Amino acid sequence: MTAKNTAIIILAAGKGTRMKSKTPKVLHEICGKTMIGHVIDTALSIDSSKIITVVSHGMEDVAGAIKHASSVVIQENQHGTGDAVKPALKELKSFDGNILILYADTPLITHETLAQMMDSLKSSDIVVLGFRPEDPAEYGRLVVNEAGELIKIVEFKDASPSEKKIHLCNSGVIAAKANLLQELVAKINNKNAKGEYYLTDIIGLAQNAGKKCTYVEGDEDEVLGVNNRVQLSEAEYIYQNRLRATAMVEGATLIDPETVYLCHDTRIDSDVIIYPNVTFGKNVWVESGVVIKSFCHIEGARIKSGAVVGPFARLRPGTEIGEEAHIGNFVEIKKSKIGKEVKIGHLSYIGDATVGSNSNIGAGTVTCNYDGYNKYETTIGKGVFVGSNSALVAPVKIGDKAFIGAGSTITKNIEADSLAVARNKQLNKENWAKHFRKKNEKNKL
Q: Which residues are catalytic?
A: 346
CB of 260 to ligand UD1, least distance (A): 30
Pairing of strands 126-131, 169-177: antiparallel
Could you say which DSSP state residue 3 is in? G
Residue nearest to ligand UD1 (CB): 140
Question: Pattern of binders to ligand UD1 over 57-86, x per CB under 6 A?
Answer: ------------------x--xxxx-xx--
Q: Decide which of ligand UD1, Ca ion, none touches 139; Cβ closer than 5 to 8 Å per partner kind.
A: ligand UD1
Could you say which DSSP state residue 357 is in? T
CB of 170 to ligand UD1, least distance (A): 4
Separation CA 268–CA 91 (nearest Å): 42
CB of 225 to Ca ion, least distance (A): 4
Strand partners, 170: 130
Could you say which DSSP state residue 33 is in? E
Does 349 participate in binding ligand UD1 (rule CB under 6 A)? no
Find the DSSP H helices in 12-137: 35-44, 60-66, 81-91, 111-120
Choose, by CB under 6 A, the member of 169, 353, 366, 398 that binds ligand UD1: 169
CB of 284 to ligand UD1, least distance (A): 30
CB of 178 to Ca ion, least distance (A): 24
Does 200 participate in binding ligand UD1 (rule CB under 6 A)? yes
Residues 401-420 that bind ligand UD1 (CB under 6 A): none
Angle CA(203)–CA(207)–CA(211) in degrees, nearest 5? Answer: 100
Choose, by CB under 6 A, the member of 54, 176, 327, 347 that binds ligand UD1: 54
Kindly tell me which of 155 and 352 has the beta carbon lying closer to ligand UD1: 155
Contacting positions for Ca ion (CB under 5 A): 105, 225
Does 199 participate in binding ligand UD1 (rule CB under 6 A)? yes
**Which residue pairs from 151-159 have beta carbons closer than 8 angstroms and sit at least 24 positions apart in sequence?**
151/203, 151/204, 151/207, 151/213, 152/203, 152/204, 152/207, 153/128, 153/198, 153/200, 153/201, 153/203, 153/204, 154/200, 155/192, 155/193, 155/194, 155/198, 155/200, 157/192, 157/193, 157/194, 158/192, 158/193
Does 320 participate in binding ligand UD1 (rule CB under 6 A)? no
Give the binding site for ligand UD1 (CB under 6 A).
Answer: 11-14, 54, 75, 78-81, 83-84, 103-106, 139-140, 153, 155, 169-172, 198-200, 225, 227
